[in-house]
């Protein structure tokens, strides 16, 4: 029996009605609903442009492709991209798929985000970009990362797929880099079933994103644009392919749901933050368990726990206790990603020691957070952790 699940639905009858309105319209592929959702999303994030795609994974792919194929390219094949050693697989795969080289940087063991001190040490002659991640709702140190990027003339990109609603100094997470990505997968802060978004303030990047999103054609671009100007012959302009693009288009249903969900975002995030206050209060009374240190205002995607002291090495036993109590858990994202067998298939720079990522890999786990009151569930968690600790 599951007493404390990892994820839960944020839908009610409003989302169902939005789906039915799309069905009744007869237009299912990308159209007016998508355009409206993009505009609303950009406005809420404080960005000039938002381009919707079919997943957060595709958002990363589209962003990196647009950086390469922009009329004035921002990167070229062989360039190195600095990435944190802990993130989801689809932070990394697009880097190689677009022709760039991964260079893994260790994380800060407390924030779980890329260690800014180690970023500077990792910069080499081939380094052209930093692709930083906001992990589990917690923003990276974007003030320092901006300074580093400016000092070394590096492109700064942001994977914010887990951290919609987070902020630093009043700026929305996802908007600190030249481009930022978001996900609206089922378990995330808002859900459109599947869905993703890229935001930017650069018109040239936005136009390139629209082209690579849909086959690399010019159909969705204005007559005069930053990719390839239209001729005015509509029949030709609808089927002119100019970039090596993909089919990453979202559905009208997803966008219609997104409009409803976006209106609820602030209430969802506020509830998650209230839950986080209770979680932190409980955990402050338990030694042997380290929790994530907040930067700015986290949107608390979930709650990480790292075992230390006398509990170090006892994660398998703890997982059994959590499972017995009906508390779902999972690794902290992928742990140290470089320890996954797929690394042999990825083009990467030499991998040095990654002790903080290794610790997360071996001693970390993750508990869910939700958009509703978790007092009962968090009390169960605290009691289970306390009982476990007393055994050692």
- Which residues are part of the catalytic machinery? 188
Tokens representing residue 130 in the block: 């930093």
Q: How far is CA 137 from CA 53, 134, 160, in A?
A: 21, 6, 8
Q: Tokens 């952790």 — which residue?
A: 385
Q: CA–CA separation, 272 vs 32, rounded Å?
A: 32
3-state SS, residue 367 = strand
Quick check: 88 and 334 in contact, CB under 8 A?
Answer: yes
Tokens representing residue 374 in the block: 């978790």
Q: CA–CA separation, 392 vs 258, rounded Å?
A: 47
Give strand pairing partners of 158: 132, 180
Q: CA–CA separation, 263 vs 11, rounded Å?
A: 12
Q: Tokens 């083009």 — which residue?
A: 347
Burial (Cβ within 10 Å: 0-12, 13-18, ≥19) of residue 44: middle
Taking only Cα atoms into account, the Rg of the chain, rounded to an integer number of angstroms, comes to 21
Per residue in 281-305, is it b (16+ CB within 10 Å) or e — as a string? Answer: ebbeeeebbbbbebbbbbbbbbbbb
């Amino acid at each position: 029996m599951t007493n404390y699940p990892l994820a839960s639905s944020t839908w009610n009858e409003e989302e169902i009605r939005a789906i039915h309105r799309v069905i009744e319209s007869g237009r299912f592929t990308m159209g007016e609903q998508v355009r409206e959702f993009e505009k609303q999303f950009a406005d809420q994030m404080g960005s000039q442009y938002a381009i919707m795609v079919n997943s957060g994974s595709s958002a990363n792919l589209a962003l990196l492709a647009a950086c390469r194929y922009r009329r004035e390219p921002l990167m070229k094949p062989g360039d190195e991209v600095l990435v944190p050693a802990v993130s989801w697989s689809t932070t990394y795969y697009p880097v190689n798929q677009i022709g760039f080289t991964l260079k893994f940087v260790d994380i800060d063991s407390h924030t779980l985000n890329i260690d800014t001190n180690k970023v500077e040490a990792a910069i080499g002659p081939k380094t052209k970009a930093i692709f930083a991640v906001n992990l589990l709702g917690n923003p990276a140190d974007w003030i320092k990362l901006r300074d580093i990027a400016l000092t070394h003339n590096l492109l700064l990109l942001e994977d914010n797929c887990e951290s919609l609603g987070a902020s630093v100094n009043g700026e929305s997470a996802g908007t600190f880099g030249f481009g930022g990505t978001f996900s609206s997968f089922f378990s995330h802060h808002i859900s459109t079933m599947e869905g993703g978004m890229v935001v930017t303030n650069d018109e040239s990047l936005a136009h390139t994103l629209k082209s690579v999103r849909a086959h690399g054609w010019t159909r969705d671009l204005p007559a005069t644009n930053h990719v390839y100007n239209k001729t005015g012959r509509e029949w030709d302009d609808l089927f002119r392919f100019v970039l090596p693009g993909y089919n990453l288009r979202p559905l009208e249903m997803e966008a219609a749901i997104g409009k409803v969900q976006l209106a609820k975002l602030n209430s969802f995030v506020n509830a998650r933050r209230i839950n986080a206050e209770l979680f932190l209060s409980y955990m402050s009374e338990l030694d042997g368990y380290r929790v994530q240190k907040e930067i700015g205002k986290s949107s608390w995607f979930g709650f990480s726990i790292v075992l230390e002291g006398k509990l170090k090495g006892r994660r398998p036993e703890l997982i059994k206790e959590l499972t017995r109590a009906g508390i779902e858990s999972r690794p902290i994202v992928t742990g140290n990603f470089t320890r996954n067998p797929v690394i042999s298939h990825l083009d990467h720079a030499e991998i040095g020691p990654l002790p903080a990522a290794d610790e997360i890999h071996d001693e970390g786990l993750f508990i869910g957070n939700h958009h509703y009151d978790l007092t009962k569930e968090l009390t169960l968690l605290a009691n289970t952790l306390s009982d476990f600790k007393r055994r050692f």
